[in-house]
Amino acid sequence: MAGFSTLFVWSLLFFVVANANVDEDEYWNTRATEAKKVAKSAFNPNPEIVTDNLNAAVSRAMVGRNSTRRSLKKYRGPCLATNPIDRCWRCDRNWAKNRKKLAECPLGFGHQTIGGKRGPIYVVTDASDDDLVNPKPGTLRYGVIQKGPLWIIFGRSMIIRLSQELMISSDKTIDARGANVHIAFGAGLTIQFVNNVIIHNLHIHDIISKSGGMIRDSVDHYGFRTQSDGDGISIFGSSHVWIDHVSMSNCEDGLIDAIMGSTAITISNCHFTHHNEVMLFGASDSYAEDEIMQVTLAFNHFGRGLVQRMPRCRWGFFHVVNNDYTHWLMYAIGGSQHPTIVSQGNRFIAPPNPNAKQVTKREYAMEDEWKHWSWRSEGDELMNGAVFIPSGDQTKGKKKGLSRYDMISFKPGTYVRRLARFSGTLECTPGKPC
């Protein structure tokens, strides 16, 4: 997560003052106010309608496909798109000519995210990141700070070692299809007080904390940033964010953090490995404005070397649907401050440790308190002794009036191996199905 030192925004909480990584009150106050308005407009007062629509899409994608087998070997056969997000764009040999089709494909709470669809294409040709105040044309940093929508692609495979955190402005797509692009061995990506960002098909790993300094965050502004925390992707006070087909591992802090009123987020088709604290949604038990946070996790694979926080939630509404949890050392899903967690059709394979069989963990609350939190499990496949402990109102937020088709159930956890089969980055070659 990113952090500031002197920003007095949103109730003057000490957390913001201590953790937002800038020291220019007027500029960032304005950014924060604008971002907050967008986030409030993105909040859906009937979140179950969003979850049910996603479940209906899963059912449509699986019609006529009853195989549940997923091979762990590298797939080399004809193109398969096994879930509704992928079926929207994959297996089209002309994907490279129709890149912006991707913007029609997100589902869940981030379904309105279009990134840079309405802008031109910008090609990254230079992997360097030497000038943080006046970045060179052709670099990734130059592209992400430009005004207006921009669809960013890569002219070749590359490893980008970010000298400091990469400040991404609104209405951007980072689309690494067709190249093998790694953000590694340096700072991570920061999505702060912006909206409408797509991150697609990147490898993000070995991210470290950086000391900060003068960094440009837009064409019109640069300023001093304090030390970054070492997150792979930090979402701070932002909305309409879609992260898809990203492979992540081994970051100094979290792989993905979403905090400070961020909402309308979908994280899908990603592969997570070799990390302790994987995802944090809501960074403070005292920051009640995270009640607007709504996040969808769908078709992701939580794989080898993971310990906990897949995710760890506070305050908001979290739809965890058809993900494959094959590894954890402590627990999979945790939270505090009465988040609503709807777990549907996931596969949970518990570790051998008899003390780590529980999928769920409630923190900083006694049972008399957390028994009222709405955490429910529907259609999950619980293997090797895995236990999901439900609590609270098992019908919270459910709305009547949806069509019978929209109310078709998600696919049960036995289908997850197929739905999440192609999680992580994809090998895409122009002229061939991706």
Q: What are phi and psi of 32, to 5 degrees?
A: -65, -40
**Is 156 in the active site?**
no
Residue type, 229: D
Least Cα distance to 270 among 241, 239, 295, 242 occurs for 242
Catalytic residue among 90, 216, 309, 312: 309
Is residue 339 reached through a cis peptide bond, with omega within 30 degrees of 0 on the bond before it?
no
Round to whole Å and give the CA distance between 119 and 115. 9
Round to whole Å and give the CA distance between 16 and 366. 28
| Contact (CB, 8 A) for 344 and 319 | yes
| Contact (CB, 8 A) for 271 and 299 | no
DSSP-derived 3-state class of residue 258: strand
Q: How many CA atoms lie within 13 A of 252 on its CB side?
A: 15
CA distances from 386 to 44, 326, 343, 354, 357 (A): 32, 11, 14, 10, 5
Residue type, 173: T
| Contact (CB, 8 A) for 192 and 238 | yes
How many other CB atoms are found less than 10 A from the CB of residue 37? Answer: 12
CA distances from 207 to 99, 125, 129, 315, 331 (A): 28, 22, 15, 28, 23
DSSP-derived 3-state class of residue 198: strand
Beta pairing class for 279-281 and 312-314: parallel
Residue 403 is encoded by which pair of tokens?
Answer: 């069509």
DSSP-derived 3-state class of residue 33: helix
Least Cα distance to 1 among 20, 23, 28 occurs for 20
Residue 319 is encoded by which pair of tokens?
Answer: 């739809």
Question: Which residue has 């002219």 as its token pair?
Answer: 155
Report, as residue numbers or ranges, the catalytic residues: 309
